[in-house]
């Protein structure tokens, strides 16, 4: 049987990779499963894998009525396994189909989860915040020194901010959006955020308290006191070009949420806000806010250290721990 030539423009080169651990994939997986459950649809995919065909051609090849072919094509198209377009034919337009993928894989194992500790982590560079509203004194510094002008809030909107390894401000907030890596198929035991911080004063003052408030997904989970702005010695990782007499290092804080409440360095600070309050599966990101409120008991500012400043070789790390 002679085959008509079709000048199809749709892409035929696409890999479909889905992970069963991602709840966003569930509907897609179900549609693909339903589409592949029919012998006729598998046969249609096979004849379309390298060659575009019209519905009429498919009907003749597999010896199935045109109306049934149209139904099968609809299921395959809904699952994203084929693509179609209308082309001019000898008796008006005709619908031409082609297989729209080259491979399909379904992953059931979350390779990012540490099989021993049952954890998965994401590290966020301190300069990769997505929003802020801060008050001077403030500034940003990278491995090679200052970024922009000090004590100018506009500096925090420079494109170069992503290179920051140290940032500081007197009051206000800074927001980070972590990708939502939480596996809805596993039981989440703890969600934690770890970062190195200290207060912010002119120069440095070892005894300079600052009240720092943390919010997750716009829910205020608690506050704690940073005892001072540390600069009496060099930070272990702080670059040589960073001047003496300035903030040098901070303390490492871990903010954790479990089913029983909120903890700072394993000390309970809030038993009313826990994992169940956060609705962590509702968004594709997890929002983490660090704030110095203007009405705080101690408005002592904040320094946030990245992996190449301070004492700890890390950025802001979010970790999900499963049972």
Give the per-residue pLDDT at 5: 54
- CA atoms within 13 A of residue 258's CA, in its CB half-sphere: 14
284, 293, 242, 119: which is closest to 191 by C-alpha? Answer: 119
Tell me the whole-structure pTM to 2 decimals.
Answer: 0.70
Domain 119-322 indexed as CATH 3.90.79.10: no
Q: Among the ranges 84-93, 237-246, 279-288, which has the highest mean pLDDT value? A: 237-246
Under the banding of pLDDT at 50, 70 and 90, the label for residue 85 is: confident
Encoded tokens for 85:
């377009």
Average pLDDT over residues 160-174: 97
Give CA–CA dist 145/160, Å, rounded: 12
Which residues partner with 95 through β-bridges? Answer: 86
Q: How much is the pLDDT for 113?
A: 56
pLDDT of residue 2: 45
Look at the chain and count its residues.
Answer: 323
**Where does residue 116 rank: exposed (0-12), middle (13-18), buried (19+ CB within 10 A)?**
exposed
For 144, residues 6+ apart whose C-beta sits below 8 A from its C-beta are 239, 241
The C-alpha atoms of residue 204 and residue 183 are separated, in whole angstroms, by: 42
Question: What's the pLDDT tens digit per position in 221-238?
Answer: 999 999 999 999 999 999
Indicate the pLDDT class of residue 266, thresholds 50, 70 and 90: very high
Mean model confidence pLDDT for the chain: 89
Helix (H, G, I), strand (E, B) or coil at 276: helix
Mean pLDDT to the nearest integer, 94-106: 85
CB 19 within 8 A of CB 25: yes
Q: How confident is the model at residue 38 (pLDDT cuts 50, 70, 90)?
A: very high
CA–CA gap between residue 117 and residue 133 (Å, rounded): 37
Q: How far apart are CA 119 and CA 219, in angstroms?
A: 24
Can you give the pLDDT at residue 142?
95
Residue range 15-107 forms a domain whose CATH class is mainly alpha
pLDDT grade for 186, boundaries at 50, 70 and 90: confident
Question: What is the pLDDT, as a whole number, of residue 105?
Answer: 79
- Say what the pLDDT of residue 23 is: 67
Nearest to 223 by CA among 214, 236, 231, 232: 214
Cα torsion angle, 217, 220, 226, 229, sign: positive
What pLDDT, on a 0 to 100 scale, did the predictor assign at position 248?
97
Please, which residues have CB within 8 angstroms of residue 28's CB and are 6 or more apart in sequence? 18, 79, 80
Q: What is the DSSP letter of 117?
A: T
Give 106-141 pLDDT, tens digit per residue.
766 555 555 556 889 999 999 999 999 999 999 999
Locate the domains of the chain by residue range: 15-107, 119-322
Place of tokens 């494109």: 159
Helices (H), the chain: 26-35, 39-48, 55-62, 66-78, 275-278
Whole-number pLDDT of residue 41: 93
CA-CA-CA-CA dihedral for 293, 134, 264, 227, to nearest 10 = -80
Q: Is the predicted pLDDT of residue 1 greater than 50, yes or no?
A: no
Indicate the helix (H) or strand (E) that contains 133.
Answer: strand 131-142
């Amino acid at each position: 049987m002679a085959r008509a030539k079709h000048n199809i423009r749709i892409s035929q080169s696409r890999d479909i990779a889905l992970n069963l651990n991602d709840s966003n994939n569930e509907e897609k997986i179900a549609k693909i499963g339903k589409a592949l459950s029919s012998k006729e649809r598998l046969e249609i995919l096979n004849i379309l894998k390298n060659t575009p065909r019209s519905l009429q051609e498919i009907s003749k090849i597999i010896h199935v009525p045109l109306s049934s072919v149209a139904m099968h094509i609809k299921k395959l198209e809904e699952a994203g396994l084929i693509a179609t377009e209308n082309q001019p034919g000898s008796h008006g337009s005709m619908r031409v189909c082609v297989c729209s993928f080259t491979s399909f894989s379904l992953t059931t194992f979350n390779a990012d989860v540490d099989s021993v500790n049952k954890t998965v982590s994401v590290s966020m560079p301190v300069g990769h915040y997505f929003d802020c509203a801060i008050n001077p004194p403030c500034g940003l510094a990278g491995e090679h020194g200052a970024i922009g002008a000090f004590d100018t809030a506009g500096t925090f909107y420079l494109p170069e901010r992503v290179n920051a390894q140290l940032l500081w401000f007197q009051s206000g907030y800074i927001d980070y959006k972590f990708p939502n890596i939480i596996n809805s198929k596993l039981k989440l035991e703890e969600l934690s955020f770890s970062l190195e911080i200290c207060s912010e004063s002119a120069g440095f003052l070892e005894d300079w308290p600052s009240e720092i408030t943390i919010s997750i997904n716009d829910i205020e989970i608690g506050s704690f006191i940073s005892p001072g702005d540390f600069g009496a010695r060099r930070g272990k990782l702080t670059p040589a070009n960073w001047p003496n007499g300035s903030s040098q290092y901070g303390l490492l804080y871990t903010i954790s949420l479990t089913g029983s409440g909120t903890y700072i360095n394993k000390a309970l600070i809030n038993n009313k806000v826990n994992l169940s309050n956060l609705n962590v599966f509702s968004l594709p990101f997890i929002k983490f806010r660090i704030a110095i409120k203007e009405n705080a008991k101690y408005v002592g500012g904040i320094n946030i250290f990245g992996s190449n400043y301070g004492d700890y070789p890390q950025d802001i790390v979010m970790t999900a721990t499963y049972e």
